[in-house]
Structures are given as structure tokens and as C-alpha cells.
Structure 1
């Protein structure tokens, strides 16, 4: 096994090696993203917001965002003005993104299910939305109105009665969040928007805050991607609030054979690398010829792209690589071990290959389904698990905002019929009072009956 660098992206040659899951996870490229290490930085920020409320948020905005906003809550007039000034082409694109997202997410809504266990014994599972959510939209190296869509649409379709959006104040926009983000909120009918960023926004959502007449009530759940400090705040406050995930740097993995178009693959790797210097771009292929062609295409594309330095840093980092494997079977094993946030399948019989993928946040099948389509207008959600968490977690969906509540209704006769088993199991667990709760209703019940 060799590890070399072409000058644009590292190359990892795994041909001729049979590696188990543990070995694969040990050698696969990953970004350094130590949320635990960030807790020490985040804890005093979170505690300051808890203790001082709005004053702490204003101070944090001045410290981290370089501006002290006039108000924390964005006035409705500012939100409406942002929509009025929005480029008509951007508005049309956002409206189409919203339309497609609503189509897909509407089909995710679970319905209540009632099971008759016995005559007189019924269990119903009700799906109930959380009472209030805080939706976080980052505002760092890029502008993310698409994240407004991806957070708000499933929350609305779940029936969440109260939702608020937070995004960092911007020096270039008078201390308000970016106007395109505000316009997206207006398109979706969101009128509670807060100029708050980073860990302090998560803390404000968790504990609530009063700023004169403006009140941000505590939320039950916080969703949305962010930097390492947002992730650390989510970890610190988990339990006070529910969270969707501790999002890390974005990832793309491409599983490709010699049928793939090298320029398509290279363009997709660059498209994710432009997010962040820590973004991961991984090509897995059994074709040395494709690997070389992709590396050559990357040289051209990195030089020509707008964010050249950021892309070059991401591609050259330890989190990115061209990985050579013996065959597609080995490639499938590798991408399942990697559990990428975004996985593209650019092979022959791509649909059949994709059907064998078990671990991925989202799978993009064939040459005409690039990840960037999913970022904006596929209808799917782009808030997805990172850092290998796709092996146990799902992306954001309508279900993220729902809770299943079991409603148990038994008649006297139905309880009497099963009561003996309840008493027996209660005594077996040395919890006799559990059984006595049944005997108080039906003293005639015999254990074991």
C-alpha cells in the first residue's frame, strides 16, 4: 500500500490488499475535526448567553462578527425589503428549489398507526411535531439561502407550530444576516429571524433570550449545519435541546470505473472542495487511467475556479485522495466503510451498484446526478451526516421534527387477560409494585396466567 501525492490531490493505492472494516476506517482520508477540543472555547460563550442574555449576544456579535447589530431580531420590514430587492433570477431559482423540496418532503410525513393487540387492547402510535425549533443558517465563507430551504421546508411539513431562523450578522449588510438569506425566509413565510451566529445562537435558542420587547422563546430542537463551534455548542447543550447532528466539514466520495467522464468527476470534486479548506473530496476507482485523467482535469479546474486557494487547500489536505482499488467490489466495501455525506456512483449499471450502498447521507446515481443538484434543486435534503456518521444517522427530513408517542388503551377485560404475565414479569425483575398496580385493579389475577 502506498501513499503518494500528485501535486493536486494525494493518491492512496489499496490494490492487492484485503482490508477489513477496522483497517479501512484507519486508512481512509478524514479531516481533523475535534469537537471535543472546541468545547473549552465554547463553554464560556454558552454560559455567558445563559447568564447575561441579550447583552452577551451583542458582545459576541461585536467580537466574532465585527459588528454590533441594532437589534437581535430582524424587523419584518428588513426581511420584506430583502425579498423586494432580490434578483428575479435568484428568486425564481429559490422558488423552484422550494417547490421541489416540498414535493419530496410531503411524502415523508408519517401517519398515525393503530394496532389492535387483543379485543379491548389498542396501541396507537401518534406522530407529533416538536413545539418549537431553532433553525441555524451559517454565514461564513459562503451564503446559504439553500440551507434556509432545507431546514424550513421539512419543519413546516411536519407541522411545527413555531420556528425561528438564526444567521450571523454581516458587517456589509448593516448588521443583519445576508439579504439573500432574509429573502429566502420571506419566500417561506418565516417572520422570526435573528441576527445571531455561532455557538451563541445555539445557546440563545436553548435558553431563550429577551431583548427589550423582542423575545426568543427556548426551542425544543436545533437543526442546521455550522462550523466546529456550532457543533461543539450542540454537543454541550444536547439534553437541554434536541439536535439534528454535529455537522463537520462537507464530503464527497465518487465511486467510478473506466466508463466515467474524468472531467465530470473532477468538476464534482472541485464543487465540494470550494465549500471549505477542510472539505473532503475522495475518488474511489479501479481504473488507473481514470485516476490519471481526473488528476489532470483537476489541475486545469483548480487553476480556473474562482476560489482557487480554498479548493487547492481542500484537495491537497489529508481529508482528500484518489483511492485505487482492485475492483468495484472492493470499491463498494470502501465507500460503505467511509459512509460519505455525499456519494456519487459513476459506473456501468450505476443503479444496480447504488442499490448495494448501505452507508451514505445521500447517493447520486449516474453521470447526470451531480451533488450540486442535490444541494439546490433535486428535491432531496442537503443537511446530511458527515464524518462517517451516515453509518448510523440520516439526513434532515420531516421525521427529524416529529416524535412518535405510543397511546395505550386497554379495557378491564383486556388487562385481566394479560395481568398474570405482567405480575410474573414484575416479580422476575424484582419490581413487585409494578405487579401490584395490576392486582389493585384485578385482585383475582393469578401470576403466570
Structure 2
């Protein structure tokens, strides 16, 4: 997005990253209007600042960006609805409440609508996490934003019967980021089916995936992880199916085709095959 303090240009860090990556076109535009511009194109008039319409739009954003992507899906392809960030942490009584609090805060500082959810079977752990949250929020830079996010209806603690029940809750929630801080964390993580990315154990915080691990930072949110994946190479690929039979191959399966065409009451479909053998 354009930055007022930099004369309407993107932030210098963004431009520096673009230079390092060999990117030669950068548009100073953000929000829902940027998604619309790429979906429909923008006429630049007499200048050379036109934006050509594209085939695929990828990347995260706030609720307005996610809504624009949803509305324009079909006009362009999208990776997923990567909206306001969310973290869920599945933890048992072996987890460190200090680390859980730090990780919940790390996502809450993104946005007042960010979701930070603890899923645990331990009331004692939940109580200790609350204590650490109070202490750590007092010293964090974006304390007001964090407090608003943690107090919102999208955040909270879910008490479950046991870890088995917690796994079911995690799959129902389908979090963007899911941390597993339990005994046998790797085994528990292997049973998760719905999540944008799963972070296993005490030393795999979400921040690791954000900046360094190599997992993609553009992940599905709002429950869409139940059917969508994070941004990856296949997002930019599509398959074109190619069918090439010779005469004998078509003749071998022709009876199957005519039988199905008759069953569907589409006789001309069958005729298109039998006409080749009259």
C-alpha cells in the first residue's frame, strides 16, 4: 500500500525486497481496490501506469481484502481467503503457560480482530496462561491492540475433556495457525486434518513459520483450511486434459459410451461415437 511518509510509494523495505527478488513492476495500491484493479484491469489513459487484468490474485489481507477476493473469485482465480490472522494452541498440562501466552500475544498484535484461541483439557493451565497474559501484555508495544483482540468474541479458551476431544475441536475450527504443545506432540500433530499450518512442540512457534521455516505465510483463515491449502507452487499451475484415442481404442470402449448415453437419455452422444464406425 502507498505510504504517506514516503510520498505515496510503498515502504522502502518492500521495494528493497522486490529489488532482491528481481521484481520489475510494483503498484502502490492496497485494500479491496487493489484486488478489483487486478481482477478487472485499470486503463492508464495517456500515461504508462495501466494495470493489466490478471488470472490469479494471491496474498493475505484484512477482512475487506478477503471479502473482495471472495466476491471476485471466478472473475480471477484466488489462492484462498487469507484474512485476519488466527492462532489456535492445543495444549495439555505438560505445556509451558509462559510460552503459550507469548504465542497468543504474537498473533493478537496483528489486528483487533485477530483470533487467539487456547484449546486445553487443563483448567490449571488455562488459569496460569491468563496470569502470564496479564504480565506480558503490560510490557508489549501494541498492548491496546492485543487487549482488544484477546477480549473479542473471536478469542478465548476452550476447555475440552481430553486431548482426543481437543483434536476434534481443532479439526472443526480449522485454524490458520495451529500449535501443538502436548505430550507426544508429533503424534498428535499427525492426526490433525484441518489447519493451514501445524507447529509442533515448544520450539516451533508461529513466528518461525512467519519468517524463517520455509512454510508459506499465506494461509487459509476463517475455517477455510477445511478445504483450502496455503499458498504454494501449485496455486500458479493448472491442468489441461488431453484425450487422444485411435480408431481401435475408441471402438473398444464404444459400447460403454453408448450404454451410458442411453441411460442418460442423451442418444446423440452415443451417435457421435457410432457414426465413426458405420
Return the TM-score normalized by structure 2. 0.96
1:384 aligns to 2:216 (yes or no): no
Question: Is this contact kept in 1: 2:65–2:83, CA < 8 A?
Answer: no
Task: Kindly state the Cα deviation for residue 243 of structure 1 after the two structures are TM-superposed.
Answer: 1.4
Task: Kindly state the Cα deviation for residue 330 of structure 1 after the two structures are TM-superposed.
Answer: 1.5
**How has the CA–CA distance of structure 1 residues 236 and 324 changed in structure 2, closer, same or farther, with 3 Å as cutoff?**
closer
SS in 2 for 1:394: coil
Partner of 2:175: 340
Equivalent in 5, 17, 20 of residue 184 of structure 1: 17
Once the two structures are superposed, the pairs formed by residues 190-269 of structure 1 within 5 Å of their partners are 190-211=23-44, 212-269=47-104
SS in 1 for 2:104: helix
SS in 1 for 2:89: strand
String of CA shifts for 1:251-273, please: whole Å, max 9, x gaps.
Answer: 10111111111111110000000
Partner of 1:294: 129
Task: Kindly state the Cα deviation for residue 236 of structure 1 after the two structures are TM-superposed.
Answer: 2.3
Moved more, 274-283 or 224-233: 224-233
| Segments ≥4 residues shifted beyond 4 Å | none
Task: Kindly state the Cα deviation for residue 423 of structure 1 after the two structures are TM-superposed.
Answer: 1.6
SS in 2 for 1:217: coil
Unaligned runs of 5+ in 2: none
Question: Structure 2 CA distance, aligned partners of 1:325 and 1:213?
Answer: 58
Task: Kindly state the Cα deviation for residue 215 of structure 1 after the two structures are TM-superposed.
Answer: 3.1
Equivalent in 275, 278, 283 of residue 118 of structure 2: 283
Aligned Cα RMSD in Å? 1.2
Question: Structure 1 CA distance, aligned partners of 2:178 and 2:192?
Answer: 9
Question: Structure 2 CA distance, aligned partners of 1:230 and 1:322?
Answer: 28
SS in 1 for 2:244: strand
Task: Kindly state the Cα deviation for residue 223 of structure 1 after the two structures are TM-superposed.
Answer: 0.8
SS in 2 for 1:249: coil
SS in 2 for 1:440: helix
Question: Structure 2 CA distance, aligned partners of 1:319 and 1:400?
Answer: 29
1:362 aligns to 2:191 (yes or no): no
Question: Structure 2 CA distance, aligned partners of 1:234 and 1:326?
Answer: 38
Equivalent in 231, 239, 245 of residue 396 of structure 1: 231
Question: Structure 1 CA distance, aligned partners of 2:159 and 2:67?
Answer: 35
Task: Kindly state the Cα deviation for residue 235 of structure 1 after the two structures are TM-superposed.
Answer: 2.3
String of CA shifts for 1:64-104, please: whole Å, max 9, x gaps.
Answer: xxxxxxxxxxxxxxxxxxxxxxxxxxxxxxxxxxxxxxxxx
Count of residue correspondences? 276
Partner of 1:375: 210
Moved more, 434-443 or 346-355: 434-443
Unaligned runs of 5+ in 1: 1-167, 444-449
SS in 2 for 1:414: helix
SS in 1 for 2:17: helix
Question: Structure 2 CA distance, aligned partners of 1:354 and 1:233?
Answer: 33
Question: Structure 1 CA distance, aligned partners of 2:63 and 2:92?
Answer: 35
Partner of 1:438: 273
Once the two structures are superposed, the pairs formed by residues 9-28 of structure 1 within 5 Å of their partners are none
String of CA shifts for 1:273-325, please: whole Å, max 9, x gaps.
Answer: 00000101111111222111111110011010000000010011111112222
- Larger RCO of the pair (alpha carbons < 8 Å, separation 6+): 1
Once the two structures are superposed, the pairs formed by residues 37-76 of structure 1 within 5 Å of their partners are none
Return the TM-score normalized by structure 1. 0.60
